[in-house]
């Protein structure tokens, strides 16, 4: 009796193991994985994302005419033909997305081993849809066989697999192939697909699949979790995201460097500038280790993060120029909540200039004499003791702000050329403005023709910008202006916006820093004291864009006319056949689905990240899901 119970227990445990959920990517994938994208739980992610405001907007009855027209065109032009070609319904396949979905590219010995190339692997856990998966695989093989394909049976470990060959033109969607092999044509791949319990496996190389199945069974070589760069990204929060991706840049950078070294390159002239062996170290990319992103959604809002793995001690070049110090970067009191966009970067501009010079000189050493000549000669005709480097670079501070007010007109042209005010903190803004005025003498006509005027007792300098060739002879001259005020050098292509700042006009509405929910949202991106912070009014942006598209969607179609997308649109009835923006309701009916977005930085010793958070709009948070 005890023996029977023991055998029964073993059988139950074995059955549970065979049908267990697929291992997480850090355990399933090999240590030489080059890239991975994973959704740890498709069902949970889908449930969370469907409650997001923009998904609710898509299902709102007010948007139904627009949505139904788009979905009809999608079925007619894309989904329908694809289903007919594949002999299956896309909706049936989507039912399989229940558990983990992971796609990866693994090194498979590349680039060290001669003749080796990276392989890809896709794994999908269907959980309780094992029977449906079995039926889908049988249908795939039947459809392929009926289409004249050779479907070869194979076995990997204890699992049955099928192998089919595809050519490059088929992968690109080119019609006209008969599915057979062609003499001398090696531009194709083998696709392996099979099932192990509830898990679907796809890949292009037997060895890659075999090693993954071995790890799933718990007996294989080093897994991805042994890679310290991947482990660091997981620890930083990637592992708890609803979807994430990771790229191991270190072997790719090394491979690019080896190619550059092997190809030689010129040390002189323009070719030296293009030499990758100089560019990678000069730009600070030589020590890049990894790049990752993650996305998550909750009732509170949506979070996205882009993280770059590079040690603090190796941050040179671009990273030295752009990464800030840990200083307050929230909006000052004079920034109004009526603004559309706000960005503030607390980077030491003198150090950034020094890093820029070092980068340029290491790529193109001859540039040093040109730059030094400029600093030593400009302004000497007016004052022999004038020192441009001292007056310009020596007075730069550690504060850069970019502000964009709400547009006054909602047209595509106005959105494309929205007025922007740039504020640069300086120790002496009047000296910096004067240095730029002196430096303008080196600009080509008409920009060297400087116009001066006074606003509220402050000097304002304006440069005439080169005209647009298509604007016509009678088009008004565009000006770019700058002036000093309130501890900042102010620059803008909109003279009214610049003058408003120099006059010190009181902001309309309450300050941005007092906007409801802003402080709480900032916590999700690391707060406002990490040296970089940004804000965008999604509602204002969406209103401007939607109303502009309602007025003039033809301009978008004209811009796309000479692109591949334009060719597709032309064959399927034009943009209006897909997206008829005139069918959208008045913006007031859907404004509650839009709120705002904040941005921030997270600086760590081994990496840094750019974070974005969009809180759920207050009205959308309480509206029923449709």
Closest to 216 in 3D by CA, of 125, 138, 130: 125
Domain presence at residue 482: yes
- pLDDT exceeds 60 at position 626: no
- pLDDT exceeds 50 at position 2: no
- pLDDT exceeds 60 at position 203: yes
Confidence of residue 3 (pLDDT cuts 50, 70, 90): very low
- pLDDT exceeds 90 at position 515: yes
Domain presence at residue 568: no
Domain presence at residue 25: no
Spatial distance between the Cα atoms of 57 and 53, rounded to a whole number of angstroms? 6
Domain presence at residue 319: no
DSSP assignment of 143-195, as one string?
HHHHTT---EEEEETTEEEEEEEEEHHHHTT-----SS--TT---EEEEEEEE
Spatial distance between the Cα atoms of 90 and 75, rounded to a whole number of angstroms? 11
The whole-number average pLDDT for the span 210-228 is 89
Residue 600's DSSP bridge partners are: 533, 611
Closest to 515 in 3D by CA, of 339, 345, 344: 339
Tokens of 503: 């006059």
Tens-place pLDDT, residues 176-185? 444 444 334 4
The whole-number average pLDDT for the span 343-368 is 93
Tens-place pLDDT, residues 50-90? 889 999 999 999 999 999 999 999 998 888 888 887 777 88
Domain presence at residue 398: yes
Residue 505 is predicted with a pLDDT of: 74
Confidence of residue 449 (pLDDT cuts 50, 70, 90): confident
Element (H, E) at 272: helix 269-273
3-class state of residue 129 by DSSP? helix
Spatial distance between the Cα atoms of 285 and 292, rounded to a whole number of angstroms? 16
Tens-place pLDDT, residues 558-615? 666 666 666 676 777 777 788 888 999 999 999 999 999 999 999 999 999 999 999 9
Tokens of 222: 């080093």
Tens-place pLDDT, residues 452-496? 999 989 999 999 888 654 555 555 678 899 999 989 999 999 998
Tens-place pLDDT, residues 17-61? 344 578 999 999 999 999 999 999 999 999 998 889 999 999 999
Write phi, then psi, for 162 (nearest 5 degrees). -125, 145
Beta strands in 409-485 (DSSP E): 421-426, 450-455, 458-464, 479-485
pLDDT-wise least confident of 254-263, 438-447, 472-481, 609-618: 472-481
- Contact between 406 and 339 under an 8 Å Cβ cutoff? The reply is yes
Tokens of 129: 């849809």
Domain presence at residue 104: no
- pLDDT exceeds 70 at position 621: no
Which range marks the domain in which residue 378 is found? Answer: 332-510
Confidence of residue 168 (pLDDT cuts 50, 70, 90): low
CB count in 10 Å sphere of residue 300:
14
Residue 234's DSSP bridge partners are: none
First to last CA, the chain: 57
Burial 270-291 (b: 16+ CB within 10 A, else e): eebeebebbbbbbbbbbbbbbb
Domain presence at residue 451: yes
Which residues, other chains included, contact 498 with Cβ-Cβ below 8 Å and sequence gap of 6+?
421, 455, 460, 481, 482, 483, 490, 491, 492
Spatial distance between the Cα atoms of 98 and 39, rounded to a whole number of angstroms? 10
CB count in 10 Å sphere of residue 544:
22
Longest CA span, the chain: 108
- pLDDT exceeds 70 at position 324: yes
- Contact between 116 and 205 under an 8 Å Cβ cutoff? The reply is no
Spatial distance between the Cα atoms of 578 and 576, rounded to a whole number of angstroms? 5
- Number of independent structural domains in the chain: 1
3-class state of residue 310 by DSSP? coil
Domain presence at residue 74: no
């Amino acid at each position: 009796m005890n023996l029977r119970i023991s055998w029964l227990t073993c059988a139950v445990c074995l059955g549970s193991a065979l049908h267990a959920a697929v291992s997480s990517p850090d355990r399933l994938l090999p240590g030489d994985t080059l890239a991975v994208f994973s959704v740890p739980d498709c069902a949970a992610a889908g449930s969370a994302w469907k409650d997001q405001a923009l998904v609710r907007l898509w299902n709102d009855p007010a948007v139904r005419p627009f949505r139904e027209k788009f979905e009809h065109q999608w079925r007619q032009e894309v989904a329908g033909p694809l289903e007919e070609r594949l002999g299956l319904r896309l909706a049936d396949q989507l039912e399989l997305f229940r558990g983990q979905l992971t796609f990866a590219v693994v090194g498979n010995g590349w680039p060290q081993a001669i003749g080796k190339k990276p392989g890809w692997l896709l794994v999908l856990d269907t959980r309780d849809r094992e029977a449906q998966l079995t039926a889908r695989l049988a249908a795939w093989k039947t459809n392929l066989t009926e289409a004249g394909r050779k479907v070869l049976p194979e076995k990997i470990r204890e699992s049955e697999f099928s192998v089919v060959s595809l050519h490059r033109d088929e992968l690109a969607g080119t019609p006209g192939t008969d599915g057979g092999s062609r003499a001398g044509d090696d531009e194709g791949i083998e696709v392996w697909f099979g099932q192990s319990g509830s898990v679907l496996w796809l890949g292009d190389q037997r060895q890659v699949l075999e090693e993954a199945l071995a790890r799933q069974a718990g007996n294989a070589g080093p897994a991805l979790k042994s890679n310290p760069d991947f482990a660091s990204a997981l620890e930083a929060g990637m592992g708890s995201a609803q979807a994430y991706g990771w790229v191991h840049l270190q072997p790719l950078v090394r491979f690019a460097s080896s190619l550059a070294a092997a190809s030689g390159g010129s040390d002189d002239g323009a070719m030296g500038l293009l030499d990758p062996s100089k560019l990678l170290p000069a730009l600070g990319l030589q020590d890049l280790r990894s790049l990752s992103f993650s996305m998550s959604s909750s009732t509170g809002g949506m979070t996205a993060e882009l993280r770059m793995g590079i040690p603090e001690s190796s941050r040179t070049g671009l990273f030295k120029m752009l990464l800030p110090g840990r200083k307050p970067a929230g909006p000052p009191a004079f920034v109004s909540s009526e603004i559309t966009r706000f960005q503030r970067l607390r980077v030491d501009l003198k150090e950034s200039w020094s890093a820029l010079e070092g980068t340029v000189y290491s790529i193109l050493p001859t540039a040093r004499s040109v730059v030094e000549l400029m600093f030593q000669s400009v302004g000497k005709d007016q004052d022999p003791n004038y020192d441009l480097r001292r007056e310009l670079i020596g007075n730069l501070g550690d504060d850069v702000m970019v502000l964009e007010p709400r547009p006054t007109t909602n047209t595509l042209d106005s959105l494309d050329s929205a007025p922007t005010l740039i504020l640069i903190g300086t120790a002496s803004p009047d000296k910096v403005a004067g240095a730029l005025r002196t430096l303008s003498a080196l600009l080509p006509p008409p920009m060297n023709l400087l116009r001066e005027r006074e606003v509220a007792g402050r000097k304002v300098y304006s440069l005439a910008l080169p005209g647009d060739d298509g604007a016509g002879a009678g088009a008004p001259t565009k000006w770019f202006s700058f002036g000093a005020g309130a501890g900042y050098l102010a620059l803008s292509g909109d003279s009214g916006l610049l003058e408003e700042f120099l006059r010190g006009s009181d902001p309309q509405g309450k300050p941005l820093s007092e906007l409801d929910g802003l402080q709480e949202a900032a916590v999700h991106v690391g707060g406002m004291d990490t040296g970089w912070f940004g804000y965008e009014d999604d509602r204002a942006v969406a209103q401007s864009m939607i109303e502009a598209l309602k007025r003039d969607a033809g301009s978008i179609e004209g811009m796309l006319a000479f692109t591949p997308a334009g060719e597709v649109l032309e064959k399927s009835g034009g943009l209006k056949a897909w997206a008829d923006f005139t069918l959208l309701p008045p913006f007031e009916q859907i404004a509650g689905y839009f709120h705002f977005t904040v941005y921030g930085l997270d600086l760590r010793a081994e990496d840094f990240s750019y974070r974005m958070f969009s809180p759920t709009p207050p009205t959308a948070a309480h509206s029923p899901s449709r």
